[in-house]
Amino acid sequence: MSSLEKKGRACLSRGMRDGRTHERKPPSPLIMSQGNSARILQLTLAVIKPDAIAHPVIFKAVHEKILLNKFLIVRSKELSWRREDSQNFYREHSGRFFYQRLVEFMSSGPMRAYILAHEDAIQLWRSLMGPTKVYRARNTEPESIRGMYGLTDTRNTTHGSDSLESANREITFFFPEFCVSHWYQQDEPHFRMGAVSYDSERQIHAVHRT
């Protein structure tokens, strides 16, 4: 594990524990804000896969869908994986029939990774993606991202965390320099109250600093 990964894991363990809050500690993203109309924002990891990045029109459409659904983009970057990176990320699937195909595909070209913020970021992003199996997405949720742009169950355009635990782990994997506890302490209130603006050049939302 690299020093950046260790730092990320330490930040995550400090910042997002079992739903309890403590004085001077960042609140859990699943806890309702007391006395405020707005809920504490939740973070999720979203990825636009190589099959979509290879087609700029599809990438643009998915990016615009993120913005149209009121997600706040906390971090965004384009990256390419080595085969070992792909193996490490998907090691829980090692031995399954699709593992090698998935590993090869995810290391086949550039992708775009996001940290997204929303009151219900994990479930909303998964709802927008649609079912993992493309044939099911096309038949049951044709307006979903996978229903519109997915090619196969592997080349299905997007990835999204499926739980708070996996979001924590995946954010650390893709953004090891990002400290969740620091973000909740310093930036989450600004994002929640709308004191941010979209930077089209960097393709993220930035806090209004005074």
Is 49 annotated to bind ligand? yes
* Cα–Cα distance for residue pair 111/89, rounded to 1 Å: 14
* Cα–Cα distance for residue pair 187/167, rounded to 1 Å: 18
- Average pLDDT along the chain, 210 residues, taken 10 residues at a time: 48 44 37 52 98 98 98 98 96 92 97 98 98 97 98 97 96 96 96 96 91
Question: pTM for the complete prediction?
Answer: 0.84
**pLDDT, position 35:** 37
**pLDDT, position 26:** 40
Residue positions annotated with a catalytic role: 159
Q: Which structural domain range is residue 65 located in?
A: 3-207
In total, how many domains does the chain have? 1
Is 146 annotated to bind ligand? yes
**pLDDT, position 2:** 47
Q: Token match 């390419």: residue?
A: 80
CATH of the domain at 105: 3.30.70.141
**pLDDT, position 27:** 42
Contact of 150 with 156, CB cutoff 8 Å: yes
* Cα–Cα distance for residue pair 38/59, rounded to 1 Å: 30
Is 7 annotated to bind ligand? no
